């Protein structure tokens, strides 16, 4: 049995997962692993989010598609140019080799229908 760290309901309520549409996706000149996403969250505005998925996906795989993001995560400096990732994209982590926890590959979520940008996931 896999043991996971448990959190309280109050801790979970702090996490804001929101749907955003990727309006631009590119690979920074300095990057060998991250894709820079510009994500539209509707009335909440746009955010820059870096996704460490270049090994598995191309920028065009993200453009004009909606995905869930952790919206209220503290920004993190990414790369040498002072860029910050202002959120985190969610994906399933599928292990290719169950004995190797580093063998995961991200599988992107797809919504059944288009929803307004910025809508909260509950």
Question: Measured between alpha carbons, how far is 109 from 92 in angstroms, rounded to an integer?
Answer: 7
Number of domains in the chain: 1
Burial tier of 22 (Cβ tally within 10 Å: 0-12, 13-18, 19+): buried
Domain assignment of residue 53, yes or no: yes
Domain assignment of residue 118, yes or no: no
Domain assignment of residue 88, yes or no: yes
Structure confidence at residue 59 (pLDDT): 97
Instruction: Give the Å distances, CA to CA, from 97 to 101, 102, 116.
Output: 8, 9, 37
Instruction: Give the Å distances, CA to CA, from 73 to 49, 56, 104.
Output: 11, 24, 23
Domain assignment of residue 2, yes or no: no
Q: Mind listing the pLDDT tens digit of every residue in the chain (122 residues)?
A: 677 899 999 999 999 999 999 999 999 999 999 999 999 999 999 999 999 999 999 999 999 999 999 999 999 999 898 899 999 999 998 887 777 777 788 999 999 999 999 999 98
Kind plus residue range of the DSSP H or E element containing 120:
none
Structural tokens at position 48: 């820059």
Here the CATH number for the domain that contains residue 49 is 2.40.50.140
Structure confidence at residue 1 (pLDDT): 62
Structure confidence at residue 3 (pLDDT): 76
How many other β-carbons are positioned within 10 Å of the β-carbon of residue 106? Answer: 17
Domain interval for residue 64: 16-108
Nearest 5°: the CA angle 85, 91, 96 is: 120
What tens digit of pLDDT does each residue of 24-34 get?
999 999 999 99
Domain assignment of residue 91, yes or no: yes
């Amino acid at each position: 049995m896999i043991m996971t760290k448990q959190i309280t309901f109050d801790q979970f309520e702090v996490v804001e997962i929101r749907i955003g549409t990727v309006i631009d996706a590119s690979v920074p000149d300095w990057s060998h692993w991250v894709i820079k996403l510009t994500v539209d969250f509707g009335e909440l505005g746009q955010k820059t989010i870096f996704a460490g998925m270049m090994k598995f996906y191309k920028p065009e795989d993200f453009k004009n598609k909606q995905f869930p993001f952790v919206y209220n995560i503290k920004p993190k400096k990414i790369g040498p140019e002072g860029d910050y990732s202002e959120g985190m994209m969610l994906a399933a982590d599928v292990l290719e080799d169950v004995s190797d926890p580093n063998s995961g590959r991200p599988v992107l979520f797809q919504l059944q229908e288009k929803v307004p940008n910025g809508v909260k996931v509950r």
